[in-house]
Amino acid sequence: MGMIISISCIPQKHKVVQAYAALVRRLTVDNPSPEIKRHQITWSYDSERLDLATLMNILESSDAESLAEGNEGFSVDTGYQLLSGEWIGISIYLSGKLYKNGLDVRYLGSLQITTEYSDLYHSVKLKPRFKNKAANENNPKFSWGYEGMKPVLNQKLIQANQSADALFLTACGLLEPEDNSYIDHAAMYYRYGWLSPLTNPMIYHRNPVEFARDFERIYAEYHYGISIPLLLNSGIDIWQLTQAEITDLVTYLGKTDSPVKNYPKTYKLLCKPHDILPEQKESDIINFVESLDPETVKKLSKLSPDFIKQALANLEQELPEIHSYDFESRGIVLTSGVLMSVWRAYQYLAQLAALELGK
* CA angle in degrees (0–180, nearest 5) for 234-236-242: 145
CB 53 within 8 A of CB 60: no
Give the DSSP H or E segment for 128. strand 126-133
Please list the rounded mean pLDDT of every run of 10 residues in the chain (359 residues).
Answer: 83 95 95 90 73 96 95 95 92 95 93 92 62 52 46 71 94 95 95 88 96 97 95 91 95 90 82 74 91 96 95 90 95 90 96 81
List CB contacts of 177: < 8 A, sequence separation 6 or more. none
Terminal-to-terminal C-alpha distance of the chain:
48
* Total-model pTM: 0.90
Q: How do residues 103-145 score in pLDDT, each as one tens digit? A: 999 999 999 999 998 888 876 655 555 555 554 555 544 444 4
Predicted confidence at residue 276, as pLDDT, reads 74
Specify burial of residue 190 (Cβ count, 10 A radius: 0-12, 13-18, 19+): buried
